[in-house]
Amino acid sequence: MDTTTATTPMNLENSPAFTFTASTFQKLHPIEYFRKFVSQGVRPDGRLLNGFRPTTVHVGVITTANGSAMVRLGGTTVVCGIKAEVAEPKLDSPDQGYLVPNVDLSPMCSSAFRPGPPGEQAQVVSDAINRVLKESKVLDLKDLCIEEGKAVWTLWVDIVCVSYDGNIYDAALASVMAALANVRIRNPSYAGGIIKVAGGEAISDENSFRLKLNRTPLSSSFALFDTSLTLLADPNFAEESISQGQISITIDEHDELCAVSKIGAGSSSQALLRQCVDRARERSKELRAIMSAQ
């Protein structure tokens, strides 16, 4: 037994009880663990600080929906399904349809979410997407009119998170845009208060219509790490939980800003914001290429 020798400082350092494996160190001091990587310009998952995770987009994955898309952003997987239904228009906008995006973060996708009504994060993301769609006029709601004052289309845009690993906003917005571009609705006919669509034959350009999208906003998010406010592009779950704040830049295909949001992390300089916008521009081009390759 070398219990006696362990009391001397030199042996204490070599004693196995005081050296941790990397995974133990990560659990005990997540921030310090991360800082060690960031000081070398990399992240624990091997990405560079401004690197986004591999992204895949598949459209038309759900046949029961009018339009659908699945987006995978590293470990985050979201499925967006759009169903078109008929509703009465609002009195003050008799020729405008409805576009209703909602994000569902179920307890299946991560242990961070509880069952029941939408939690805080789900509400925030739903509202952010709703705002981007409305404010940047992605869709002219008048296109959804069937009969003025009587009937309009309602697009129920539901985003289901299948697997959660951070950066839900980027993934959800990309899936919404891909699904909107995928929507096909059969031409309706209005007669005596009843809306009918023709069934039977396969859906084609003659018997259905697509949505005209005015612009395609896509977002890029960055986590702000540490007091130095190091930018980490596309944060995963672990990075989100230790970050000081987050910046999301939403850009359309003409490189125009649609939305900018910055949460937490005290004050950030203009240079930092510009850095984000520049990187977001590159990223949105990459993502657009992935989406159009579909």
Partner 1 sequence: MDRKRVPGPELSVAPLVEYPIDHERWTPQQEKRHDPKRQPEDLRPIYLKTGLISQASGSAYIELENTKLACGVYGPRPVKKIGQGFSGMGVLNCDFKFATFACVKRRNNTRQDPQEKELSQILSQALAPAVRLELLPKSVIDVYITVLESDGWGSCLAAAITAASVALAHAGIEMLDLVAGCSASYMQIGPSISSTTTETSSSSGAGNPITPQIQIFMDADTEEEKYEQGAIVLAYMPSLNEVTHLLQNGKAEGPIINQSVEHCMEACNKVYAVMHHALLESMKESKDA
Report d(CA 253, CA 237) in Å as an integer: 28
Residues 6 or more apart whose CB falls under 8 angstroms from that of 165 comprise: 74, 75, 76, 110, 236, 237
Question: At 61, is the secondary structure helix, strand, or coil?
Answer: coil
Nearer to partner 1, 127 or 282 (CB): 127
**CB 84, min distance to partner 1, A:** 8
The DSSP H or E segment spanning 55 is strand 55-59
**CB-nearer residue toward partner 1: 35 or 83:** 83
C-beta closer to partner 1: residue 146 or 233: 146
DSSP symbols for 66-109: SEEEEEEETTEEEEEEEEEEEEPPBTTBTT--EEEEEEE--TTT
User: Which CB sits closer to partner 1, 41 or 54?
Assistant: 54
Residue 257: CB minimum distance to partner 1, A: 23
Toward partner 1, which CB reaches closer, 23 or 64?
Answer: 64
Tokens describing residue 21: 């494996």
CA-CA distances (angstroms) from residue 58 to 33, 64, 151, 154, 177?
Answer: 36, 16, 32, 24, 12
Q: How far is the CB of 153 from partner 1 (least distance, A)?
A: 9
State the nearest-atom distance from the C-beta of 76 to partner 1, in Å.
8
Find, among 267, 266, 248, the residue nearest to 258 by Cα: 248
Q: Which is nearer to partner 1, 156 or 209 (CB)?
A: 156
Which is closer to partner 1, CB of 49 or CB of 61? Answer: 61
Give least dist CB 176 to partner 1, A.
12
| Separation of alpha carbons 272 and 279, rounded Å | 11
- Give whole-number Cα distances, 54 to 51, 57, 73, 143, in Å: 9, 10, 6, 35
* Amino acid letter, residue 156: W
Least spacing, CB of residue 194 vs partner 1, in Å:
6
| Helical spans, DSSP H, in 80-136 | 120-135
3-class DSSP assignment, residue 259: strand
Min. distance of Cβ 79 from partner 1 in angstroms? 6
What does the binding site for partner 1 look like in residue numbers (CB under 8 A)?
A: 61-65, 68, 75, 77, 79, 81-83, 85-88, 98, 100-102, 104, 106-112, 115, 117-118, 122-123, 126-127, 130, 154, 156, 158, 160, 162-165, 186, 188, 194-201, 237
Give me the least distance between CB of 109 and partner 1, in Å please. Answer: 6
Please identify, using beta-carbon distances, which residue of 17 and 194 lies nearer to partner 1. Answer: 194
Please give the backbone phi and psi of residue 279, each rounded to the nearest 5 degrees, phi first. -65, -40
